[in-house]
Amino acid sequence: MTWESVLAAPTPRQHIAQLYTEPGFLARAVGRFVGEGLRRGEAVVLVVTPPHWQTIARRLEDDRSALDDLQRRGQLTVLDAAEGLAQLLVDGLPDRARFRTLIGGTIDAATAAGHGSVRAFGEMVDLLRRTSLAATIRLEELWTELMTTHSFSLLCGYSLDNFDSQIHRGLLQRVSTAPSDVIPVDDYARLDRAVERAYADIFGPSGEPASLRSTFLAHYARPAAMPDAEAAILAVRQFVPVMADELLDRVRHHYRTDHDAPAAN
């Protein structure tokens, strides 16, 4: 399964986390998520930074008036992520009642507009995680809680490097527990090749690395749906932590020097 297919047809209450370092990848992913929703007649709520909205809007529709019309009809709602976050915080933490009023109320309005299912994309968590881990976790909890009472699919964007060992030691583990799906990179086939080569580098070039990878995957309890290659990276951190950073370094090297990878659109 590709990230494109995950984003094209999410199920109600499906929570997807996307990691990215290149804004272009974020724009492609959100464009897929939002564009498919609009084409299917679904309502879309974006809690997004203005620069990212401008990039996403260009991918969605050359004719800006069409997007304006979608907003007037209530099928598309765009909120400023920083302004929204400022409205939610009380003593540095997101307030449940304020979150319910702003985000829950926006989801309610989108549902009431009669456009069928609702898709939401949010960047508030990413803005908040740069200053407070506790507040980030609380905001994730509020999103998860809202999904128990409101029927919508959710995509959250995180400007995190999937090959950063510091991220893998802490924040990624937390990010992976709330969503139902994690999109770690833009090219799954390329990641799979990189992990295969990294396993050979670390565990030997014979047939054992492939067998070891299969064993790890069979015993690793994934916190969310993710590519096998990503799970194979996380499994090493759980089962052979002393080798985790070295493996990640090799995966990074092979991923970024893979000349078989096609150019991004």
Where does the chain show beta strands of DSSP type E?
Answer: 15-19, 43-48, 76-80, 89-90, 93-94, 118-122, 153-158, 181-183
pLDDT tens-digit map of 221-255: 998 899 999 999 999 999 999 999 999 999 999 99
Neighbour tally for 171: CB within 10 Å: 16
Output the pTM of the full model.
0.91
Least Cα distance to 22 among 146, 206, 185, 153 occurs for: 185
- In the chain, domain spans: 3-183, 188-256
Nearest partner of 139 among 76, 77, 86, judged by Cα? 86
pLDDT in tens, 106-116: 999 999 988 87
State the pairing for strand pair 76-80/43-48.
parallel
Q: What is the pLDDT of residue 132?
A: 86
Interval 35-79: pLDDT, tens: 999 999 999 999 999 999 999 998 887 555 688 899 999 999 999
Task: Judge whether 195 and 161 are in contact, CB under 8 Å.
Answer: no
H and E: helices and strands count for the chain:
15, 8
Give me the CATH code for the 3-183 domain, please: 3.40.50.300
